[in-house]
Amino acid sequence: MKRYNKIVLLILTGLVLSCSESFLELTPHQSVADSEALTNLEDYQSSITGVYNKISDADYYGRYMFLIPDVMADDVKQNSQANRIIYYAEHVVNVSDGNASSTWTAMFQAVNAVNAIINADVTVPDGVKNQQDHIIGEALALRGLVYFDMVRLYAQHYTFTSDASHLGVPLVLQFDATNKPTRNTVKEVYDQIISDMTSAIALMDDDSRSGNSNLLSVSAVKALLSRVYLYKEDWSNAEAMATDVISSPKYNLVPNANYLDLWNKDNSSESIFEISMTETDNRGGNSIAGLYSEDQYGDYLPSNDVISLYEANDKRLDVFRVDTFLTGDYAPYRMDKYPDISGFDNTKVIRLAEIYLIRAEARAKLGTNDSGAQDDLDMVRQRALPTAADNADSGQNLIDAIMLERRLELCFEGQRLWDLMRTKQDIVRNECTALTCSIAYGSDSLILPIPQNETDANPNIEQNPGY
């Protein structure tokens, strides 16, 4: 254990990097080669726990993975006192932006950590081989998730070019302290994501860690993979993966009367995968809640654009709270999907309502089961508003209804920007400054810059257009 603690210390040293260094150019004292990091099952267990903790950082799922894309779109507006991520809301980020750099670093730190698990060559007793396989599967799935998040933040969406040949992010799958990689194409990144998640499903054992949505399960990986296929516009596979998840008895939509349990409680029946946030993490103002709550910074508010779309008596309106101190252009609501001002609310990465909407969209796009798509849409719509009438839409009307429901159901969960991008729509804000009322589809500002410290250290890595 003393040797293992020393290894962990070396890994943690690598996780605290100077802003002036390239993460992809780690020196030996900052990182640990795959062959040295793990020696037994306990090492695997400790290492995968460390990965989950890493992705909960404020620079990742603890705050910015949801906040940055949301402030770049049209559901969120910033108040006049905002002084955090304001350049994202204004679409004027530059290559030296610290948040783009810290998020990039946090993601590659997570990649390095899961690579150590995936590539370790350790023989364990037969009695615990399934546990080792499950952890390797978790690591593969987490690597797929991290790369999916990276390629959405730092590259244009999959169908931006007809063959997804535009630049994505570097695929780093092995430890190499001298590595200075180029960027892979978006297609190559998606292929790796799908390969990782598919391999994970084959390795994982749902009985190994059942009953806890803070940890990945087979169903959780299938849910994430359904989202990947949706973004890729592989409608058949998106439908198939979503169907597998919906068919699982493990998940149920939270009833209308208990809708706020989704946000007031962790590990609800609807939650498929969520990132644990505990008192030990002590995020406080560095949490998602910190930038929404008036008891912390309170910089960001729901736009009237999105609130005006809800019908009267829609249960989802309960997550919006009137703040009588907000006046003028900033009146009158706060958003309470993250109600704990200390930041102890788990971050919901994916939940059952989204899976119904993924299957609905896939079915509508395939055009072979409009009634099934409508049924899936109504599951979500009528949970929120039980008096809503059954519809029988088809074609573009059905697709438009599904996209509207995605906006209503998934707002403030880091989805809106990429829904607009993948459907090739402009961002149109009715509450705005003259500078940012409209951002055209395909704009360079829709994706983050490759951090300057990375391009300075690695001459092989290409910068994004416009930066």
Ranges under pLDDT 50 in the chain: 1-21, 23, 25-35, 208
Q: How far is the C-alpha of 297 from the C-alpha of 11, rounded, in Å?
A: 33
pLDDT at position 284, please?
A: 59
Cis bond before residue 332 (omega within 30° of 0): yes
Of 332, 283, 316, 387, which is closest to residue 57 (Cα–Cα)?
283
428-443 residue pLDDT tens: 998 776 568 999 999 9
Distances (CA, A) of 12 to 39, 47, 50, 58, 209: 18, 11, 9, 16, 26
Name, in order, each residue with C-beta under 8 angstroms of 467's C-beta and a sequence gap of 6 or more.
94, 95, 444, 449, 450
Q: How far is the C-alpha of 23 from the C-alpha of 15, rounded, in Å?
A: 9
Distances (CA, A) of 344 to 65, 110, 298: 17, 22, 17
Q: How far is the C-alpha of 406 from the C-alpha of 402, rounded, in Å?
A: 6
pLDDT at position 287, please?
A: 76
The answer to whether the beta carbons of residues 313 and 373 sit under 8 Å apart is no
Per DSSP, the three-state class of 271 is strand
Pairing, β 271-275 against β 347-351: antiparallel
Q: How far is the C-alpha of 142 from the C-alpha of 200, rounded, in Å?
A: 9
The answer to whether the beta carbons of residues 117 and 135 sit under 8 Å apart is yes
Name, in order, each residue with C-beta under 8 angstroms of 117's C-beta and a sequence gap of 6 or more.
38, 44, 47, 48, 51, 135, 136, 139
Q: How far is the C-alpha of 74 from the C-alpha of 304, rounded, in Å?
A: 10
Q: Is 328 left (phi over 0), alpha (psi -120 to 50) or beta?
A: left
Question: DSSP state, 161?
Answer: S
112-144 residue pLDDT tens: 999 999 999 999 999 999 999 999 999 999 999
Per DSSP, the three-state class of 76 is strand
Q: Which long-range contacts (CB under 8 A, 24 or more apart) does 362-368 make?
A: 362/229, 362/230, 362/235, 362/236, 362/238, 362/239, 362/242, 363/235, 363/239, 364/398, 364/399, 364/402, 365/233, 365/235, 365/399, 366/235, 366/236, 366/239, 367/395
- The first and second tokens of residue 111, run together, are 């990649």
User: What domains can be seen in the chain, in order of their start residue?
Assistant: 2-287+341-429 (1.25.40.390)
Q: How far is the C-alpha of 70 from the C-alpha of 77, rounded, in Å?
A: 9
Per DSSP, the three-state class of 301 is strand
Indicate whether this model's pTM tops 0.75. yes
3-state SS of 305-340 is: HHHCCCCCCCHHHHHEEECCCCCHHHCCEEECCCCC
- What DSSP string describes 337-388? SS--TTS-SPEEEEEHHHHHHHHHHHHHHHTS-HHHHHHHHHHHHHHH-TTP
Q: Is 325 left (phi over 0), alpha (psi -120 to 50) or beta?
A: alpha
Of 38, 40, 39, which is closest to residue 128 (Cα–Cα)?
40
Q: How far is the C-alpha of 33 from the C-alpha of 371, rounded, in Å?
A: 53
pLDDT at position 13, please?
A: 36
